Every structure is written in C-alpha cells, then in structure tokens.
Amino acid sequence: MENSADDKTKRFLTDFLSCQTDLRGYIGALVWDEGLREDIFQEVSLALWESYDRFDASRSFGAWARGVATKKILGHRRNSGRIPLIMDPEAIEAVMNAFDRTERGSTDREDALKHCLKRLPDRLRSLLTLRYGEGLRCEEIARRSRMTLDATYQALSRCRAQLEKCVTQRLQNS
C-alpha cells in the first residue's frame, strides 16, 4: 500500500512542478496583492494534492489546476470581499481559456518538434545533441566531429532551419 502512496506522490509532484510557474503566473494575473496571491497559491496547492485522486490523467494538469485556482479566487471574493476583482468573472474565464490555448499550443509544438527531430539524419541529430544536449561550444563539436568550424556552424544553421520549416508545416497541417 505504501508503494501506491509513493507512486501517487511522485505523479503529483511531477504534474505539479511542471505547471507551478504557470499557475503562479495565472494567479498573479488575477490577484495583485502579493500576500493574498501567495495565500491563494498555497490553498490551491493543498486543494490539488487533496483532490489528486479525482484528477483525470488524460486531461491537462495545468488546466485542471487553473480551474481549481479560479474557484478559489472567486470563492475568496464572495466570502471575504478581500480580493478586489480586477476583472469580472467572464474576463477571468477568458484569461483561463487563453492559458489553456497557450498550453495546448505548446504541447502541439513540442509534439511537432519531436516528430521532426526523428526525421533528421543521425549525423545532424548527433550535432544537435552535442550542442544543446551536452551544451558544447561549436569549437568542441567541430573537433569531436572532425569538421571545420565553419562547416559546424553551417550544419547547425541548416539543421535549425530544417527543423523550423518542418515544425511550421506540421503545425499548419494539424
């Protein structure tokens, strides 16, 4: 049983940490008072943990978290009047929908990039891995790949252009 609790904790932390910055940004866009914003973030975090068993993993955790945050913010406003609403509830919903669209767009772009990376020749993928995966400078990549420095710059430039074109086409076709 403890293993199951550990698995739940790991899944929650993975989901929560991946959207924590966006969630803070979302709450910050709606609540300008710094202390109150932090209080609400803590309440939302606790509510997410307490209700994580009801989270549908086939959906976006970020969208679910923003929905919980919206309910907490509007609940605070109704119950205490402490939160001066900078927007009416319809505008708050529009902000939430904009965050959802941005998140979906980001996922689509990541999926397109993964697809396009798979289509690259192994040699170009290895250059990208050296540059961006290992963070090597072009001089070191040239040395390891037995290429001139100019050839390394050109190969990486062509690779980035090819990826950009592929991702753009993939996004337009979907």
Please give the full DSSP string across 25-81, using - where no structure is assigned: HHHHHH---HHHHHHHHHHHHHHHHHTGGG--TTS-HHHHHHHHHHHHHHHHHHHH-
Per-residue pLDDT of the chain (174 residues; tens, 9 = 90+): 446 777 888 889 888 988 888 889 888 888 877 888 899 999 999 999 999 999 888 788 988 998 899 888 888 777 766 555 555 666 666 666 666 666 555 567 777 888 888 888 888 888 888 887 777 889 999 999 999 999 999 998 888 888 888 888 988 887
In-domain check, residue 115: no
Same domain, 75 and 134: no
Q: How far apart are CA 143 and CA 107, in angstroms?
A: 35
Domain harbouring 27, CATH code: 1.10.1740
pTM over 0.75: no
Q: How far apart are CA 24 and CA 62, in angstroms?
A: 11
In-domain check, residue 172: yes
Please answer whether residues 61 and 55 qualify as being in contact, where contact means their C-beta atoms are separated by less than 8 angstroms: yes
Q: How far apart are CA 134 and CA 72, in angstroms?
A: 42
- Dihedral angle, C-alpha 75, 77, 80, 86, nearest 10 °: 160
In-domain check, residue 111: no
Same domain, 56 and 132: no
Tokens of 153: 């710059």
* Domain count across the chain: 2
Which residue range(s) make up the domain with 128?
120-174
Q: How far apart are CA 100 and CA 108, in angstroms?
A: 12
Q: How far apart are CA 108 and CA 111, in angstroms?
A: 5
